[in-house]
Amino acid sequence: MKRVRLLNCAFDPLTFSQTVDTIFTGLQQKKRGWLCTVNVAILMMMRSNHRLQHFVDRASLIVADGQPLVWFGPLFNAQIPERVTGVDLIGELCARAARDGVGVYLLGGTQEIVGRVAQRLQSANPTLKLTFADGYFVASEAPVRAAAIAASGAQILLVGMGVPRQEKFIEEQWDTLGVGMAIGVGGSFDVLAGVRQRAPLWVQKIGMEWFYRLIQEPRRLFKRYLVTNSQFLALVLVRFLQVILMRRN
């Protein structure tokens, strides 16, 4: 499908199931690339972080991980069918990988957290070829981690080390990793391990999942959400006024 542009990002207008199908079709065809799940905070971060913007621009797949992006997409002539979140992708990708005999590698979090996530995914998918490692390592150790991922034979890499550290790792180690698809999943491991609670479905549907996260981690997230949400709403307002003026003319 042709990508649709919303501000500084061109999204693939895919549903959740289409995204999963596209990933596995790419793996079958021996294509390599990375997928970016972009929410409002990341979209605004990209505007000031040129390296992150460049990384996302070169992604094989870019999906909207934020209900406001779905809502306001039409204002920018960008029809996005639904949000596709990293935390939801993990479970479905592992289930499909188990059926198709595709190896998965989890990288990120503490050894306890990623181990707990691996145990839960393995219990849900007994035939899954799963390998994991924590995300606490210095830059000089990154090549060793990348070599271990390649040696595992995994074709799907899920990196939960936060933006933009996870993107930097994927980009710098890409030639070594050997995987067919790499995905940065942010804090998803904390949610799957039960360390952080995910917002109820009704909170997600009204676009307030960010606020639910803010309540749990106010010190870490307050400044980020205050700045990025304000920036996004200001840009949406500008676009809204432009549309009104164009219609009047």
> Region 29-57: what's the mean pLDDT?
97
Task: Say if residue 98's pLDDT is above 80.
Answer: yes
What is the largest distance, in Å, between two alpha-carbon atoms of the chain?
62
Task: Say if residue 240's pLDDT is above 90.
Answer: yes
Whether the Cβ atoms of residue 61 and residue 33 lie closer than 8 Å to each other: yes
Q: Which two tokens stand for residue 239?
A: 């676009």
Whether the Cβ atoms of residue 59 and residue 85 lie closer than 8 Å to each other: no
Q: Considering the chain, what is the average pLDDT of its residues?
A: 94
Tens of pLDDT, residues 1-40: 799 999 999 999 999 999 999 999 999 999 999 999 999 9
CATH class belonging to 4-186:
alpha beta
Tens of pLDDT, residues 140-177: 999 999 999 999 999 999 999 999 999 999 999 999 99
Cα–Cα dist 11/42, whole Å: 13
Residue 196: predicted pLDDT? 84
Residue 111: predicted pLDDT? 97
Report CA-CA distances (Å) from 163 to 49, 116, 183, 188, 234.
Answer: 11, 22, 12, 12, 23
Whether the Cβ atoms of residue 66 and residue 9 lie closer than 8 Å to each other: no
Task: Say if residue 199's pLDDT is above 80.
Answer: no
Domain-by-domain residue ranges, the chain?
A: 4-186
Higher pLDDT, 1 or 67: 67
Give the number of other Cβ atoms within 10 Å of residue 47's Cβ: 16
> Region 186-200: what's the mean pLDDT?
89
